[in-house]
Structures are given as C-alpha cells and as structure tokens.
C-alpha cells in the first residue's frame, strides 16, 4: 500500500536555499528639491537698492497675479551689474527650466519663488510673474521639426489609431478644456510605433525640464496643443510616457496659491536683507 505522505521535492523547505544571496530593491526616489531661503550678503546698500526695489515689485506682482490672474513683467536690463548679480543670487534656480527656440532664442528659468520666471536672450532680460511665461505658450507649436506624412513602416501597429485620436483632440481643443491624455505606458505599442509617432507629430519650439523626484521632460509637438510628457525616476529610468492635449502640461504651471506663497517668502527674504 502506497503511503499518502510524500516527501517534498529536492530544493524546497527550510535550509534548502542559499544563504549568500542578497535581496535587490528598486531604488527609492531621492534628491527632492526643496526651498531653502538664500540670503546674499550686501556690502554696499546703495548699490543694492535697485535690486531690493525690484524684489518689492516682484512681491507686489505676485500678490496681484495670485488675486486677479494674468501676468506681469519687470525689465531687468536697466540694473547695474552689482544689482543684477544680487538679484540673480536672491532669485536662484527653481524646479522648471525652458528652452524657447526662435528669434531671439530665449532661456527661461523659474526662480526659487514659484511663478517667478527669469527670461534671458538677445535683447531680453526680464522677470515675468504668472502661471507660465506667455512666450512659452505663443511659441510652443511653431515647427522646429515639421510634421510629416510618413508611410507606415513594418512593425508599426497602433500608431495610426493613436495619431488619429490626437489629431481629433487637437482640432477640437478649446482654451480651458479638460486635458486629454494618451498614456503610452499603459497601451501596447512597438518601438516602431514610437518612432512613427515622433516623425508624424514633428517637434515644436519649446522644451521644458521640471525637476522634483527625478525629472519630467516636456516637448511640444508641431501639432497644436499636443505635448510629449515623460517622467523619469531618480535613476533616469522612464516610468511614465504620455501625450497630452492641452495648452500647457500641468507639471509646468504655477498656481495662484503658489504665487501668493512666493509673495510672502520674497518679503521674508527682503526683510532679512534690508
């Protein structure tokens, strides 16, 4: 009679596993950028006075824009070099930077005060206070690399359907409409699909990098209102890949509450410097 009890197969049970193996964990997010107030040293109060006056103007503009919307601009090209240097040290570098192609090419850097943007280029040196610089919206989809009617190559499977969806949402988009997202991370696709979509969509004139936990890279397409938004973790591994139909992806936008908070923090720094 066969026993109803059977021995476990070899390689199972206590003591059967190697003890020299170590567990490997996915890297946790690191390097989160946080606000740390910077108080530049002032050696000559008279030469610093114009920079301090601009800080006062920026704080007032933050309050106004937070309350009423819109945007405000303050020219910096009349500041003497010492005052301009002091202002740059005080504003610092925030999470979002932009490259605006065109004539003139303009570099945009958000300051450590959310919603306060520094724009620089040939003949351009100013601070803009607002949810996002107006020029970034105006230039976004001007073709840097034009859209193309590319033939369907071998390996292209789902790209035509996704392109048709994006084209329809682009044509019907109206300011203030809800964001429409095509999440490539959750949809089946091939490498050829991605190449085909990039070719057909072209590339606009605006590229944005937002730093927080890892990076978010945003690229305007040449199709109106359509953006490629890619999130990378702290190891620079792509974790979310989307196309968004909107005026500007939310990750690059400063809200009214952000600008109200920036006004308070600018005044705090201003009092410490005076």
Structural domains of the chain in order of their starting residue, each with its CATH number: 45-131+254-273 (3.30.1370.140), 140-252 (3.30.1370.140)
Identify the pLDDT of residue 214.
75
Q: Is 168 helix (H, G, I), strand (E, B) or coil?
A: helix
* The predicted structure's pLDDT at residue 23: 44
pLDDT given at position 78 = 93
| Local structure of 273: helix, strand or coil | helix
Beta partners for residue 241, in sequence order: 230
Task: Give the rounded distance of the alpha carbon of 200 from its chain centre.
Answer: 23
pLDDT at residue 231 greater than cutoff 80 = yes
Secondary structure of 169-195 in HEC code, one letter for each residue: HHHHCCCCCCCEEEECCCCCCCHHHHH
pLDDT above 70 for 211: yes
| Residue 30 clears pLDDT 50, i.e. is over it | no
CA distance 159 to 190: 9
pLDDT in tens, 159-200: 999 999 999 999 999 998 999 999 999 999 999 999 999 999
Predicted TM-score of the model (pTM): 0.83
> Which tokens belong to 86?
């002091």
Write down the pLDDT at residue 25.
Answer: 42
The span from the CA of 261 to the CA of 54, in Å, is 18
> Is a pLDDT exceeding 70 seen at residue 152?
yes
Q: Is the pLDDT score of 2 beyond 60?
A: no
Average pLDDT of the chain? 88
User: Mean pLDDT throughout 33-56?
Assistant: 75
Task: Extract the tokens encoding 214.
Answer: 């890892």
Rounded to a whole number of angstroms, the CA Rg of the chain reads 25
Token pair listed for 80 = 């003497």
């Amino acid at each position: 009679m066969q026993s109803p009890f059977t021995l476990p197969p070899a390689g199972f049970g206590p003591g059967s596993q190697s003890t020299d193996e170590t567990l490997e964990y996915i890297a946790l997010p690191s390097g989160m950028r946080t606000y740390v107030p910077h108080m530049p040293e002032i050696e000559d109060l008279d030469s610093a006075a114009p920079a301090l006056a601009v800080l006062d103007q920026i704080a007032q503009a933050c309050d106004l824009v937070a309350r009423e919307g819109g945007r405000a601009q303050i020219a910096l090209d009349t500041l003497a070099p010492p005052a301009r240097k002091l202002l740059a040290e005080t504003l610092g570098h925030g999470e979002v930077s932009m490259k605006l192609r065109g004539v003139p090419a303009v570099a945009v850097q958000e300051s450590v005060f959310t919603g306060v943007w520094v724009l620089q280029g040939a003949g351009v040196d100013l601070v803009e206070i607002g949810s996002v610089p107006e020029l970034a919206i105006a230039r976004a989809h001007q073709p840097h690399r034009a859209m193309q009617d590319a033939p369907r190559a071998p390996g292209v499977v789902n790209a035509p359907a996704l392109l048709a969806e994006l084209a329809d949402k682009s044509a019907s988009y109206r300011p203030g409409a809800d964001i429409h997202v095509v999440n490539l991370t959750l949809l089946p696709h091939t490498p050829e699909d991605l190449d085909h979509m990039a070719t057909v969509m072209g590339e606009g004139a605006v590229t944005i990098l937002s730093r927080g936990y890892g990076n978010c890279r945003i690229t305007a397409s040449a199709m109106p209102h359509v953006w490629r938004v890619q999130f990378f973790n702290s190891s620079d591994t792509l974790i979310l890949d989307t196309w968004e139909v909107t005026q500007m992806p939310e990750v690059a936008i400063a809200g009214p509450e952000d600008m109200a908070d920036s006004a308070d923090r600018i005044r705090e720094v201003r009092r410490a410097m005076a």
